[in-house]
């Protein structure tokens, strides 16, 4: 595991308490639970992010068929 890096942030007190309670119930350190939550959030965002080639194809379609799309939108 890579070395950990300290940072400072703020959180909703209720969410923070839930994470602390979860860590206590699982017998884990708070920072481990927080790390898991951050990794899961990043992975979820990656899964739902549009792929670059899809965005490029969409942009190309808009440029090529702009006139058609505008007439269909009326």
Q: Note the pLDDT tens digit of each residue in 13-59.
A: 999 999 999 999 999 999 999 999 999 999 998 888 778 888 889 89
SS3 content of the chain, % helix, strand, coil (to 5): 75, 0, 25
29 Cβ neighbours under 8 A, 6+ residues apart: 23
pLDDT for position 70: 86
- Alpha-carbon distance of 15 to 11, in angstroms, equals 7
């Amino acid at each position: 595991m890579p070395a950990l890096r300290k940072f400072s942030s703020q959180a909703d007190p209720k969410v923070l308490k839930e994470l602390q309670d979860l860590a206590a119930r699982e017998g884990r350190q708070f920072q481990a639970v927080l790390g898991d939550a951050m990794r899961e959030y990043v992975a979820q965002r990656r899964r739902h992010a549009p792929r670059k080639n899809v965005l490029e194809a969409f942009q190309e379609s808009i440029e090529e068929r702009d006139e058609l799309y505008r007439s269909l939108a009326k």
